[in-house]
Amino acid sequence: MAAQETVEHKYVYDFAEGNKDLKDLLGGKGANLAEMTNLGLPVPPGFTITTEACKAYLTTGREPDGLAAQIEAHLESLEREMGRKLGDPQDPLLVSVRSGAKFSMPGMMETVLNVGLNDRSVVGLSAQAGGNDRFAWDSYRRLIQMFGKTVCEVPGEEFEHALDDAKRAKGTQNDLDLDADDLRGLVDAYKKIFAKHTGREFPQEPREQLDLAIRAVFESWNAERAVVYRRQERIPADLGTAVNVVAMVFGNLGADSGTGVAFTRDPGSGAQGIYGDYLANAQGEDVVAGIRNTVPLQELEQIDKKSYDELLDYMARLEEHYKDLCDIEFTIERGKLWMLQTRVGKRTAAAAFVIAGQLVDEGLIDLDEALHRVNGAQLAQLMFPRFRLDHEFQPVAKGIGASPGAASGKVVFTSARAVELAAAGESVILVRRETNPDDLNGMIAAKGILTSRGGKTSHAAVVARGMGKTCVSGADELDVNVPAKKFIVAGQTVNEGDVVSIDGTTGKVYLGEVPVMPSEVVQYFEGSLDPEHIDNPLVRAVHRIMTHADAKRRLLVRTNADTGADAARARRFGAEGIGLCRTEHMFLGDRRELVERLILASTDEEREAALAALLPLQREDFIDIFREMDGLPVTVRLIDPPLHEFLPPLEQLAVNVAVAQERGEDVAKEEALLAAVRRMHEENPMLGLRGVRLGLVIPGLFAMQVRAIAEAAVEVTRSGGSACPEIMVPLVGAVQELETVRAEAEKIIAEVVGDSGVEVLIGTMIEVPRAALTAGQIAEAAQFFSFGTNDLTQMGWGFSRDDVEGAFFWRYLELGIFGISPFESIDREGVGRLVRIAAEEGRAARPGLKLGVCGEHGGDPDSVHFFHEVGLDYVSCSPFRVPVARLEAGRAAITTTGSDSR
Ligand code: PEP
Ligand code: MG
């Protein structure tokens, strides 16, 4: 019988054995080193220990069986290739030990250089370097310092202090003035520090140094800063890091040596050219430490033309090979160029679009790939005005970046004052503790909105996003005093008329005016820049990629718009209908008085009179919107919020009545109002008398709205236009609610529409969990569903949407309970599951049921991918998110493996 061979698990790969697609196993750095090696580029030889070895070590607390022997074998072949032995006293091989996870985690994990140096090989290194004692002793002290800190947790400052002492003794501030003897002395000092903290001598055995360094890199995966970084960047915690063991090359061997970084295109703008920095006679860590100033990479041509030309050639080859912007680290050792690292480089949002466009022009990638390489978050960034932060501006507070953009203006505290100053041509920032529907005009007039309370789905945030207006919410360091027309922040008082600047992307608040620049991308969407005739590479690239996304996407994109003006803007941004027209603002302003009459009506006649007065006003609202959308579908939602929102606050009313009574004034009307407000007061209004419940309780309210919608549609059609209304009932939890509303609505519609040819659909929001779970029944009575994921998230999680983000989400994010607020990006497993169930059961009951979403998630990139996967027909989002949703819907259609917006 043949001897049975056990197949050993492979934990170590020579660079020649890997390739760029093995990032899971070899990490990004290892996979790319292998790729460069195989391309024939001059990479110092080495090998990679896999992430699997790391994971095994982290689970069991010891190196897996076979790892030590495999390292030994690869080390031997490295020694053969280099013609040197690790730590050899006469002619030592030295290696670096570097971490390298699948996703780059800059500065988060460990590196140890110069492994293999000890009291004897330091002499050999000096000989190797042509008798350069200073270099050899400097390398040795760097090893003890890095090894001590990284592997043995010796406090780094102790080494720093010893270095400072040595410089002080020498009367210098520059490391380069320390000679070989000084550095030899420093090595002694470092060894003492090492021994004091570890209770042992600095290890002299090279292989022990190597093993301990590898172990330290494994362990650095779980260092606290790495854990926090992964949580923030949403990098899975169980990937582990690979470890690269690479023959050392030195950039600090004299004027003919050096180190640098290079980019194959400008990562800031995407422009083609040669970008990078070079530092002569230095190691990579010196560049980071900023000990001396680097020179622009172009100057290398004068310093070392041969290496420069070679580098340019490699850069071109790498770009051609990776078909993308590459960033590169290199070292020149005595005139010999070595490539130490490459990866597809990080870039700004503008550069991402420009580079994708250029690569298509160059025939390196196709348009699908270009679309894949940009994302909605980048597009959104490009759509907002930005602060020109070239001067030092210090923020005085930080809230939630609720609606992106940059705005400066005079502080005002009331909606009326905002309107007044804006009419006089002033830029204003409306500052409130929180906003409510009464602030709408002021919000429209203001350049930006700043509140001290509320989260990303607070009234201020949602309305501001809808308008594309900059908003910072929940800046709780602000003590806002509206009656006194001032707020206090960081000990300073800001009065009405003082100028502040707010950044709705970062949530930062500045005192004074920070200059702002407009977005060219918005100018393009608005039609004021013609992409074919303008010499702006960004606008041309955006145009090209958007056109492709539109051709590819299956999801339609509608908008949430309540006015003709919003509808018009959304159409320019590419909206294909209105997915949510909220009708509540139509009950404010001048109409508030009518609403009060409706609420206070004590007889049918009084109520009917109030409704009759509201009817023509509502009809005009809808005519305006139908005309703007001309033939595109318009989903109008019947009134949703609790009625008390249209009445004065209870406390204020009670005080007014008491004061007036005291003065002996006639308060009959106010008393009636107070009684009504008391009657309607609810502890949890969001879970109370609102939505369909209101329609069922107040006779004639929904009927008036349905009639106004149908009449408006008929009028638009009769005057030669086209209207496609879809009436949507909010907050339905049971099919019986919908059936009741529908029966009444159908009668009115039939009566109004007659033979005009107008068709009115009736459907419902799915925003109460019970509605999602009984969607099969509800679909029997609904011609369409629109998922109200704001309320579905609120009620699915039991989170008050107005309170929780400011109150405790920070802690949930910190603990990693979720990586992003579920109000911002759909919670696929929970709330998303409700959507999926309702979509499936709804369609099973009524094939062809039209499905859309109109919660805030409709404009969130990751959520758009989810809605594509679930098979919705459209997403609806605020006008400014429409291009983002179009782009992401296109990306979702070409991505087979789900979303990957990283
Ligand atoms: C929702 O709940 O998702 C929704 C769109 O309705 P609103 O935000 O008006 O409650
Ligand atoms: Mg809702």
Measured in Å, residue 199 CA sits from the centre of ligand 1 at 64
Mean pLDDT rounded to a whole number for the chain:
91
Tens digit of pLDDT for each residue in 62-74? 999 999 999 999 9
The atom of ligand 1 lying closest to the CA of 789 is 3
- Using an 8 Å Cβ cutoff, are 813 and 792 in contact? no
Question: What value does the mean pLDDT take over residues 214-219?
Answer: 95
Using most ligand atoms within 8 A of CB, pick from 463, 583, 790, 881 the residue to mutate for ligand 1.
Answer: 790
The residues pairing with 472 across neighbouring beta strands, listed in sequence order, are: 401, 450
Measured in Å, residue 849 CA sits from the centre of ligand 1 at 20
Other Cβ atoms within 10 Å of 150 Cβ, number: 21
| Closest among 723, 536, 758 to 627, alpha carbons compared | 723
The atom of ligand 1 lying closest to the CA of 560 is 5
How far is CA 521 from its chain centroid? 19
Query: Quick check: 826 pLDDT over 70?
Result: yes
The atom of ligand 1 lying closest to the CA of 856 is 3
The reported pLDDT for the residue numbered 901 is 37
Query: Quick check: 212 pLDDT over 80?
Result: yes
**Could you tell me the pLDDT band of residue 3, with boundaries at 50, 70 and 90?**
very low
Residue, of 531 and 808, whose pLDDT is higher = 808
- Show Cβ contacts of residue 513 under 8 Å, excluding neighbours closer than 6 positions: 408, 499, 501
Protein residue with its CA nearest to atom 8 in ligand 1: 790
Measured in Å, residue 463 CA sits from the centre of ligand 2 at 14
The reported pLDDT for the residue numbered 390 is 66
The atom of ligand 1 lying closest to the CA of 457 is 8
Among the bound ligands, the one closest to the CA of 461 = 1
Look at 318-332, 584-598, 625-639, 689-703 and tell me which has the smallest mean pLDDT.
Answer: 584-598
Other Cβ atoms within 10 Å of 589 Cβ, number: 12
The reported pLDDT for the residue numbered 404 is 81
- Show Cβ contacts of residue 470 under 8 Å, excluding neighbours closer than 6 positions: 384, 385, 403, 404, 405, 406, 407, 447, 448, 449, 464, 502, 503, 504
- Give the SS3 label for residue 450: strand
Query: What is the rounded CA–CA span in Å between residue 465 and residue 824?
Result: 12
Determine the straight-line distance between the first and last CA of the chain, rounded to whole angstroms: 54
Measured in Å, residue 716 CA sits from the centre of ligand 1 at 28
∠ Cα 412 413 415 (to 5°)? 90
Measured in Å, residue 11 CA sits from the centre of ligand 1 at 53
Protein residue with its CA nearest to atom 4 in ligand 1: 788
Tens digit of pLDDT for each residue in 534-573? 788 999 999 999 999 999 999 999 999 999 999 999 999 9
Tens digit of pLDDT for each residue in 723-734? 999 999 999 999
**Active-site residue set:** 459, 854
Measured in Å, residue 849 CA sits from the centre of ligand 2 at 20
Query: What is the rounded CA–CA span in Å between residue 354 and residue 538?
Result: 5
**Could you tell me the pLDDT band of residue 291, with boundaries at 50, 70 and 90?**
low
Tens digit of pLDDT for each residue in 577-634? 999 999 988 888 788 888 888 888 889 999 999 999 999 999 999 999 999 999 999 9
Question: What value does the mean pLDDT take over residues 740-762?
Answer: 97
The reported pLDDT for the residue numbered 833 is 98
Residue 515 burial class via C-beta count within 10 angstroms: exposed 0-12, middle 13-18, buried 19 and up? middle
- Show Cβ contacts of residue 218 under 8 Å, excluding neighbours closer than 6 positions: 53, 54, 57, 58, 240, 241, 243
Entry pTM: 0.81
Sheet of 492-495, strands arranged across: 479-481, 486-489, 492-495
Strand 850-853 and strand 784-787: the pairing is: parallel
Token pair of 534 as six digits: 């303008």
Residue, of 333 and 392, whose pLDDT is higher = 333
Q: Measuring from each residue's beta carbon to the nearest atom of ligand 1, which residues come in under 6 Å?
A: 580, 582, 640, 767, 788-791, 854-855
Query: Quick check: 527 pLDDT over 90?
Result: no
The reported pLDDT for the residue numbered 902 is 36
Tokens 């110069």 belong to residue: 114
The reported pLDDT for the residue numbered 290 is 55
- Please report, to the nearest 10 degrees, the dihedral formed by the alpha carbons of residues 150, 153, 158, 164 taken in order: 0
- Using an 8 Å Cβ cutoff, are 474 and 450 in contact? no
Question: What value does the mean pLDDT take over residues 497-509?
Answer: 93
Protein residue with its CA nearest to atom 10 in ligand 1: 791
Question: What value does the mean pLDDT take over residues 302-308?
Answer: 97
Residue, of 109 and 869, whose pLDDT is higher = 869
The reported pLDDT for the residue numbered 287 is 67
Residue, of 443 and 835, whose pLDDT is higher = 835
Among the bound ligands, the one closest to the CA of 859 = 1
The reported pLDDT for the residue numbered 6 is 56
| Closest among 382, 380, 370 to 552, alpha carbons compared | 370
Using most ligand atoms within 8 A of CB, pick from 465, 765, 768 the residue to mutate for ligand 1.
Answer: 765
The atom of ligand 1 lying closest to the CA of 794 is 2
The atom of ligand 1 lying closest to the CA of 730 is 6
Tens digit of pLDDT for each residue in 13-44? 999 999 999 999 999 999 999 999 999 999 99
Measured in Å, residue 767 CA sits from the centre of ligand 2 at 6
Protein residue with its CA nearest to atom 6 in ligand 1: 788
What b/e string do you get for 164-199 counting C-beta neighbours within 10 Å, with b at 16 or more? eebbeeeeeeebeebeeebbbbbbebbbebbeeeee
H or E element at residue 787: strand 784-787
Tens digit of pLDDT for each residue in 134-147? 999 999 999 999 99
pLDDT-above-70 percentage for the chain: 96
Query: Quick check: 229 pLDDT over 50?
Result: yes
Among the bound ligands, the one closest to the CA of 466 = 1
Using most ligand atoms within 8 A of CB, pick from 558, 578, 582, 863 the residue to mutate for ligand 1.
Answer: 582
Residue, of 293 and 25, whose pLDDT is higher = 25
Query: Quick check: 347 pLDDT over 90?
Result: no
